[in-house]
Structure 1
Amino acid sequence: MNRSLSQPADPAKRLILAAVCLSALVLPLSFSGGAVATPAIGRDLGGDAASLTWITNAFMLSFGSLLMAAGALADQFGRKKLFVFGLGGFIVTSLAMSFAPSVVGLDVLRALQGVAAAASLSSGAASLAQEFDGHARTRAFSLLGTSFGIGLAFGPLMAGVLIGQFGWRSIFAVIAAIGAVAFAFGVPRMRETRDPGATGLDYPGTVTFTATLALFTFGVIEAPERGWGSAPVVALLAASALFLAAFVVVETRAKRPMLELGLFRYPRFVGVQILPVGTCYCYIVLVVMLPLRFIGAEGLSEMDAGLLMIALSAPMLIVPMAVASLTRWLSPGVLSGIGFLIAAAGLFWLSGVDFAASRGALVAPMLVIGVGAGMPWGLMDGLSVSVVPKERAGMASGIFSTTRVAGEGIALAIATAILAALAHAGLARTVAGGTMASDGPGIDARIAEAAQRMTAGDVSHALAALPEVGRAALRASYAEAFTSLLHVLIVITLLSAVATFAFLSRAPAQDDEPGSRADGEARADVAVNA
């Protein structure tokens, strides 16, 4: 029997939905707020450029790599039980971070926070799938996606206000408080559900998948400083490739794998996974890297940077809901592809703006990017709901969320490495063509250090590493590198548009979806057309 928001249990379900959405809200708040706080944390606690980079990447790595495992655990041991563990752990680690004594200690806590976030999100999403059916279920997941958008939209501004008034530590205290509110309202009303067919955690799959992401991310982060051809970096990337191969073998042979690789035979399943990857490069990368540039290179305060970031993130409050109504006339795949094209146009516009000349000139292209990214963002959660049967809701949420979050972590690591490499090349040209001695003591190491510091938004330490270049030359080299990075993001976004049109523009055929029984087709139609 279909349950909907209009039935007698409606008030309790609404509170559960509100609690899960509130718990989802604090995840991007923690992500984007931590990015804005990185320069302030560096000024307060010190730390090298790599350790500052891990403030964001440690969270994203553990979060993304454990989402599928968390979904399987939720199916086996109970969605409510894992939600309590995950949200409770998130609150505790967030509060502990407000007392962190060092950058390394903060990095460790961020990794633990990511573990708790994975448990919270997977179990919360799976619980919603059990509470709601049909159109109500699609609306619930749409609100879940909107919650992410709100967190991303207001995270930089919230962080800027808090840093300006109370310091960076207050960000994590406030996040803990919001999580506590979600815990108090949601947990008492949530019912326990399990998958009776769950067989336990796929430990070999979990270990090999986590190792793949960890080694790859670590190798990419270390590459700008050590060099892509250095033995440690090559060893890390090679080990990552080996673990990836092992993961594929393990999942192919597992009786009930963490990730059913056979799903990739279905074009629409592949297309759904492309959507979060594309939004990573046209939107998420900018959510992290623009504040670092505004604060570090352009000298804006955290609050001013947060206000400026609203131009990028505010469309996430409107566009995801508005675009859903357009599915009456255009397919979600076509709308998503159009969104990527709009975002690519905004990126191209932004690449031609002089950041130092006028802050107002940045607003329009950032709005265009936000509108474009918001179109697939508002559709991909609904599209992902019908990937697997309802009974495998933990896996369903885990697969899509893993693609989204792991993709974000990988995209950030790659974009940071590209920017650092471009900044390094620009500084090397400046040194070689200037009046300073290009063969001074440790010049190559100092150029690499300055490039990494600039990438992390730490101008003062970049100047300390390369004082002979001067602030103006550092900013010019960084601006040139950032423009080149935007060109790379344009290409990736355009490729995402092409792939989206190819895989998702047509209506699903009778045999185009996994497990294409009538019930599965009905859920797919609801997810697409709601």
Structure 2
Amino acid sequence: MLILVGICIAVLVLPLNFGGAAVSAPAIGTALGGSPVAVNWILNAFMLSFGSSLMASGALADLFGRKRVLAIGVVLFALTSLGIAAAPTLLWVDFLRALQGIAAALVLAGASAALAQEFDGRGRARAFSMLGTTFGLGLALGPLLAGFLTETFGWRSFFLVDAAIGLTGFALGVPKLTESYDPAAMGLDWPGAASFTAALTLFTFALLQGPESGWSSPLIIGLFSCAVGTFIAFVWIEKRASRPMLDLSLFRYPRFVGVQLLPLATAFCYVTLLLVLPTRFIGIEGHSAIDAGLMMVSLSAPMLFVPLTAAFLTRWMSAGAISAVGLVIAAVGMLWFSGLAPDAPSDTLTLPLFIIGAGAGLPWGLMDGLSVSVVPKERAGMATGIFSTTRVAGEGMTLAIAGAILAVLTRLKLSDALAALPPVSRDAAAEAAQRVATGDLPHAVALLPALGQPILAQAYDGAFHILLHILVALTLASALGVLLFLGRTPSTASPTDTGSAVLGGKGVAD
């Protein structure tokens, strides 16, 4: 039991950092300065390196040992947190956040694969359930903790506490963990890892740089072209590798595709809001970091109990049906939230945010258990690597796309106001729109002083509402896809059964 508690505490730093960094980002940008793109990289550098490293981390866990990879990841995460707390410039923060994402990938891959080896049957299901609850706890507490620490002691204190929590988990759980390997592991697929990372990096950088450089500029067209080319190279490499990092043949199974669709769906209806809303609350509406953290609790608190409810409901409903219902509920909550005025009292936001979080919590509670069933137990590192890569890479891409949409729509919303002014440089207007999209109203006002803060804030609000409607449409489309892929076979599994039982008694690798 101490092993499980220690691992959960060590893993807790990931969701704490995930939501907490979003609350701290405006303070970091104000304190250290930097362009809107550089401020965006506080979140995106972590998400990008996290997502692109997960499959490689899973392979490394199988090859070199799950305990060893977990230990290295926790120590590296703590060291990078300490480095961020001491960073003198925003460039250093972005660099260390990228390194921290790699550490997070090692932690998650090592911990998930280690738990799969350490526990069997019902014990394994309970262990993964506790791991999921830990993520829910971290998501619920991260914004609140970051808001309190940032407002009281400064943004650097959050990363110091993050490091302390990770090292505590390391001391409690890692020494007692039994080392395990995949006896059939043949080494890391370096060409596949390099091409996948390159494709993801190029695509994300193009999305972030597009609003500033212009979507038709040679730089952006070149970045997107190179991203497509390297992704095609990745697929070609994986098809010919003797032991690929990603077994593409698994995508022939509808249930496997359905499992990978779940994290994308929750990225649309939950994760994007978890990271974008603090910018709105702090940067646009002027709330303090503590108040923003308190408002974010309404969104994240359902993750403490709704995932367990989802596991219990599998007695009577299929995983796909439960997940689809949850996504529809989340979409309803987003529609409600989109109708609220930006100056609405804080307490009126509580219920729609809670509904969004509760709806997203239903598929969230089933995803990890389902993912374990897609490959044999011996390939647990690869199984968690594939699923976690889909989750984190999808979340990172969704966040980058949402930021680009906000910047473009804000610029469009400002077009009428800009037309009534003397000629304004295109670069100044584009940068101002990006500043507004990242919640940096003072710099935006300095770039366009003739417009003033109310007009800029109104442009953001209009862009934000359109973004919410786009996310609602994507969430509903995802609900339909999940129902088609995972909703046909009712599950007779108990809440303590494994993910393959939830899939209808047969994993795709069987």
TM-score for the superposition, normalised by structure 1: 0.93
Partner of residue 148 from structure 2, selected from 158, 161, 167: 161
> What are structure 1's unaligned runs of at least 5 residues?
1-13, 510-520
2:494 counterpart residue number: none
CA contact (8 A) 2:46 2:98 kept: yes
1:27 counterpart residue number: 14
SS at match of 2:34: coil
Number of residue-to-residue matches in the alignment: 500
Deviates further, 135-144 or 124-133: 135-144
TM-score for the superposition, normalised by structure 2: 0.96
Q: Counterpart of 2:470 in structure 1: which amino acid?
A: V
Instruction: State the 4+ residue runs in structure 1 displaced beyond 2 angstroms.
Output: 526-529
CA contact (8 A) 2:115 2:127 kept: yes
Q: Could you list the per-position Cα deviations for residues 393-427 of structure 1 after superposition, in whole angstroms to 9, with x for gaps in the alignment? A: 10011111111111111010001000110001111
d(CA) in 2 for partners of 1:522 and 1:372? Answer: 22
1:224 counterpart residue number: 211
| 2:368 is equivalent to residue 381 of structure 1 | yes
The residue correspondences of 1:360-509 to structure 2 (distance < 5 A) are 360-432=347-419, 434=420, 436-437=421-422, 439-440=423-424, 442=425, 444-507=426-489
Q: Could you list the per-position Cα deviations for residues 454-500 of structure 1 after superposition, in whole angstroms to 9, with x for gaps in the alignment? A: 11111111111111100110111110000010011001101110100
1:4 counterpart residue number: none
d(CA) in 2 for partners of 1:472 and 1:95? Answer: 39
2:192 counterpart residue number: 205
Q: Could you list the per-position Cα deviations for residues 282-313 of structure 1 after superposition, in whole angstroms to 9, with x for gaps in the alignment? A: 00000011010000110000000000111111
Q: Could you list the per-position Cα deviations for residues 122-147 of structure 1 after superposition, in whole angstroms to 9, with x for gaps in the alignment? A: 01110000011112111211221221
d(CA) in 2 for partners of 1:310 and 1:111? Answer: 26
CA contact (8 A) 1:138 1:526 kept: no
Deviation at 1:350, TM superposition (A): 0.7
d(CA) in 1 for partners of 2:498 and 2:208? Answer: 44
SS at match of 2:434: helix
> What are structure 2's unaligned runs of at least 5 residues?
492-496, 506-510
Specify whether residues 297 and 528 from structure 1 end up closer, same or farther in structure 2 by C-alpha distance, changes over 3 A only.
Answer: farther
Q: Could you list the per-position Cα deviations for residues 183-229 of structure 1 after superposition, in whole angstroms to 9, with x for gaps in the alignment? A: 11112101111111000000010000000100000000001111111
Q: Could you list the per-position Cα deviations for residues 309-338 of structure 1 after superposition, in whole angstroms to 9, with x for gaps in the alignment? A: 111111111100112111111111100000
d(CA) in 1 for partners of 2:488 and 2:115? Answer: 29
Partner of residue 126 from structure 1, selected from 85, 110, 113: 113
The residue correspondences of 1:333-372 to structure 2 (distance < 5 A) are 333-372=320-359
Partner of residue 182 from structure 1, selected from 169, 177, 181: 169
Q: Could you list the per-position Cα deviations for residues 25-67 of structure 1 after superposition, in whole angstroms to 9, with x for gaps in the alignment? A: 1112112111111111111111110000000000111111010
1:55 counterpart residue number: 42
d(CA) in 1 for partners of 2:63 and 2:38? Answer: 36
CA contact (8 A) 1:428 1:447 kept: no
| 2:22 is equivalent to residue 65 of structure 1 | no
d(CA) in 1 for partners of 2:502 and 2:445? Answer: 56
2:508 counterpart residue number: none
SS at match of 1:188: coil
Deviation at 1:506, TM superposition (A): 1.3
Q: Could you list the per-position Cα deviations for residues 348-375 of structure 1 after superposition, in whole angstroms to 9, with x for gaps in the alignment? A: 1111111213222211111110111001
| 2:253 is equivalent to residue 253 of structure 1 | no
Partner of residue 318 from structure 1, selected from 291, 298, 305: 305
Specify whether residues 183 and 528 from structure 1 end up closer, same or farther in structure 2 by C-alpha distance, changes over 3 A only.
Answer: farther
Partner of residue 160 from structure 2, selected from 160, 173, 182: 173
The residue correspondences of 1:274-313 to structure 2 (distance < 5 A) are 274-313=261-300
Identical columns (%): 55
| 2:231 is equivalent to residue 244 of structure 1 | yes
| 2:501 is equivalent to residue 525 of structure 1 | yes
Deviates further, 16-25 or 349-358: 16-25
1:514 counterpart residue number: none
d(CA) in 1 for partners of 2:62 and 2:285? Answer: 48
Q: Counterpart of 2:462 in structure 1: which amino acid?
A: E
Specify whether residues 523 and 272 from structure 1 end up closer, same or farther in structure 2 by C-alpha distance, changes over 3 A only.
Answer: closer
